[in-house]
Amino acid sequence: MLTLLLIAQLATATSAESVYATPALRDFVAAAAAANREPPPALRGYDGRVETEMSLMVRDTLGREHAAEIEQLAANAQWTRGGVYDLHVVGYRSQSIGVPYSILSIVHAWTVPTLYGDRLTLGAYFSDRRRINNTLTAVHPFASDRDRFYRYSGGDTIATLHEGARSIPIVRVRVHPYFRGATRLGAFDGEIDLDATRHQIIRMRGQFVILGGRPSVSERVLRTSGVVAVAYVEFVNAEVGGAYWLPAFQRSEFQAAFPIMSQNRPILRLVSTFSDLSVTDTGATNSDSTMWRRITVSWAPSDSISAFHDWDREIGQQTESVHADDFADMAPDVWRTDGPPRVNLFPATTSRILRFNRVEGLFTGVAPSLDFRSLAPGLSIGGFLGWAWTESTPRGGGFVTYQPADWIITARGERALANTNDFTLPLEDDPGIVALLGSVDNFDYVDRRSAMLSATRILGSVNTGLVTTQVGFGSDRAERARLTRGIVPGATPFRLNRGAFDGHYALGAADFEFHPNVSGDFVEPGYGAHLHYEIGRGDLDWQRMQLSLAARRYVGPVSFAMHADGGLLLGAHPPPQQLFEIGGNEALPGYDYKQFAGDRAALFRGFASYRFPLWKTPNHVWRNYYIPGFSPGIATSVQGGWTELSSPGAIAAVRALGAPGDTMPVSTATNGVRTTVGAGITLFSDILHLGVARPIDHPARWRLVFGFGASF
């Protein structure tokens, strides 16, 4: 994925008759170029502090962000004019849900010391043990040779800052790359805000692009396959000592899209905040054209880094203070909502065109869609159709979506193989790789036809809250397993697909999501909740309510995480496919797959861990590969589940989950709360655990456990 992330979106700038939109803008840019070609003569260097977060994230199709890994670094920065820019790391800590490498395997250095000069760097220096300055370098928009590479527009005063007694008018210039030479080079595409009196850069926001020459074979292959990768930056300066504009905030972000792997967008994000800048101001009058020759990264001793606690922010705060959609106005064409209509050949989820399971066997399909964009803003239509080869059955559907401001309105109809699992994790779209290779298919399925109309209201932003209502009609039919195993001979056979009631019904549903990006299963700190209600009337009658609560907090070296679910199913004869089933995997590990079922259910998972101030520094293993620091800690966790069969109808429904004629139900009520507690040591920032665990709902011995995560 790194190679794809490093390929900036290949942009084609439009031609222009003039480099500058107006003569006044030409004069202003010339003054800015003179002022920014090199620092003021008196400025010889500075010292300061930089606090940085590097994160690996996924943006889902609704725009919600989920972080899989966050690494926080505190560094002392020292920049010397014409010399070295050194980042001396004095503090480091991380959180991960199991990523087996440090982001330092990708990024070896970070931040730009100044925005002066003829060339501009991306702010991320990619790991290459032979070349630490391995990064994308662009022609500076205020370079002496700028007219060969850029076109300029704007030049209006957008605001006025007040610094003490001084009023600072801010002028915004829009910079457009324009180059068609034989040389491949980097350029900046975006907007620049300047101090209109001193012509110094206050802020740069945009993307790095590659222009000129011929794209490489790998770039052409990626473009043909629909892969898109974009490198965004936002650099903000602050006035220091009433004389110099120096770094205050910097963000470098790499977003990618792999259409064959769904429309979820992986993100590598670097966010840095500068503080306590102290300038070296000699009053010298000589100047130089070389602002800094190279960047170095040094590390304090491991015991010093491990004992560091002088953080300005809780881990995760910088990462969640920004959002991928902040750059939506500069997005590549494939991600934009304006422009001519666009045909998409790949679906929102991979499983619509390729999947494998024990009911269908191999399923292949197509899923084109059309975004009308400027022709009919917010309107999209699409369809998906495929063939289940073992089942010899077609499945598919179609949709129409309209998205006015803060709303998503969708009409859809489909025939789907719906899974009936409960309390699933976010982003769980399983195309069946494990089922194909290992004959493990931890889902049960029902053949479902539906026609639904839904409306979703975005409450401020998708990370703040969502309210969704749905109405429509559906029809369920029981399915059966048609395969005994995957492609590997000798694998454990598939289990039977669980039973379901056939029937038609009218359906209504409502959802409220608060902080939907916080799940407790990813590393963003915060609190989240999801309330769901649905009612079905017809051949199948039921009412179903479910509440999910999530929390994750970091207090110094202590981490807390919790996820709780509760459900209630009402109806005289509830369908088996609507029962709550728990057991195995994340839904009550330590018990058999769906060992328990009921029309009332609760599931709780929580842990607390403490990291010792030891061995936090990432470890270099080989070439550019770093693993997280050993970072040992102690942790305790509790996992509990409860189900109840409260009526004769619920008891009949759980019996129907098994094969016809079975006298023993495949699931039972828990008969009280089934709880497992564990404690032990964690390693690599809670990625691995080793300890003991035992159930406390009945007499049992402690058992030795080892696994991923901090839950025993």
What are the DSSP calls for 288-306, one per residue? -S-SEEEEEEEE--HHHHH
Report yes or no: 474 and 575 within 8 Å, Cβ to Cβ.
Answer: no
CB atoms within 10 A of CB 173: 23
Residue 29's alpha-carbon distances to 22, 187, 194, 332, in angstroms, are 11, 17, 10, 27
By DSSP bridging, strand 465-478 and strand 445-458 are antiparallel
Distance, in Å, from the CA atom of 383 to the CA atom of 365, rounded to the nearest integer, reads 11
Q: Check: CB of residue 642 under 8 Å from CB of residue 602.
A: yes
C-alpha–C-alpha distance, residues 650 and 225, integer Å: 50
Could you list the beta-strand ranges (E) of 623-666.
625-627, 633-644
For the chain, 712 residues long, the average pLDDT of each consecutive 10-residue run is 40 53 94 90 92 94 90 95 91 90 91 91 75 72 92 91 83 91 85 94 94 73 77 94 92 89 88 95 57 81 93 94 93 90 88 94 95 96 96 96 95 96 78 89 96 96 93 97 90 92 98 90 91 97 97 92 96 96 82 94 94 90 86 94 96 92 88 94 91 89 88 81
- Which pLDDT does position 288 carry in this prediction? 53
Check: CB of residue 183 under 8 Å from CB of residue 173.
no
End-to-end CA distance of the chain: 32
- Distance between CA 566 and CA 602 in Å, rounded? 4
Burial class (CB in 10 A: 0-12, 13-18, 19+), 699: exposed
pLDDT at 291: 55
- Render the burial of 76-93: b for 16+ CB within 10 Å, e for the rest: bbbbbbeeebbbebbbbb
Measured from the Cβ of residue 566, the count of other Cβ atoms closer than 10 Å reads: 17
Q: What are the structure tokens assigned to 586, written together? A: 């994340």
Q: What is the pLDDT of residue 497?
A: 96
Q: What is the per-residue pLDDT for 228?
A: 86
Report the alpha-carbon distance of residue 69 to residue 139 in Å, rounded: 33
Give the type of residue at 340: P
Relative to beta strand 185-195, strand 137-139 is: parallel
Q: Please give the torsion angle defined by the CA atoms of residues 425, 430, 433 and 436, in that order, rounded to the nearest 10 degrees.
A: 110
Specify the 3-state DSSP secondary structure of 630. coil
What is the predicted pLDDT for the residue at 420?
94
Let me know: does 55 contact 71? Beta carbons within 8 Å: yes
For residue 301, which amino acid is it?
A: P
Is residue 668 a contact partner of residue 639, using CB atoms and an 8 Å limit?
A: no
pLDDT the model gives residue 72: 96
Q: Write b or e for each residue in 490-512: b if 16 or more Cβ atoms lie within 10 A of its Cβ, otherwise e.
A: eeeebbebbbbbeeebebebebb
Categorise residue 345: left if φ over 0, alpha if ψ from -120 to 50, beta otherwise.
alpha
Dump the DSSP string for 560-604: EEEEEEEEEEE-SS--GGGSEEE-STTSSTTS-TT-EEESEEEEE
Domain ranges of the chain: 2-335, 337-553, 579-712
CB-based contacts of 673: which residues, under 8 Å, 6+ apart? 640, 641, 642, 697
pLDDT score at 302: 92
Q: How far apart are CA 269 and CA 69, in angstroms?
A: 10
Rg (CA), the chain: 29
Instruction: Report pLDDT for 13.
Output: 34
Distance (Å, rounded) from C-alpha 281 to C-alpha 244? 10
What is the rounded distance in angstroms from the CA atom of residue 456 to the CA atom of residue 466? 7
Distance CA 573, CA 570 (A): 9
Helix (H, G, I), strand (E, B) or coil at 87: strand
Tokens representing residue 159 in the block = 């605001």
619: nearest Cα among 635, 631, 632: 631
CA 186 to chain centre: 26
Give dist(CA 50, CA 45) in Å, integer.
15
The pLDDT of residue 346 is 83
Dihedral sign for Cα atoms in the order 301, 307, 313, 315:
positive
Q: Is 329 helix (H, G, I), strand (E, B) or coil?
A: helix
- Contact yes or no for 501/45 (Cβ under 8 A): no
Helical residues (DSSP H) of 189-281, grouped into ranges: 217-224
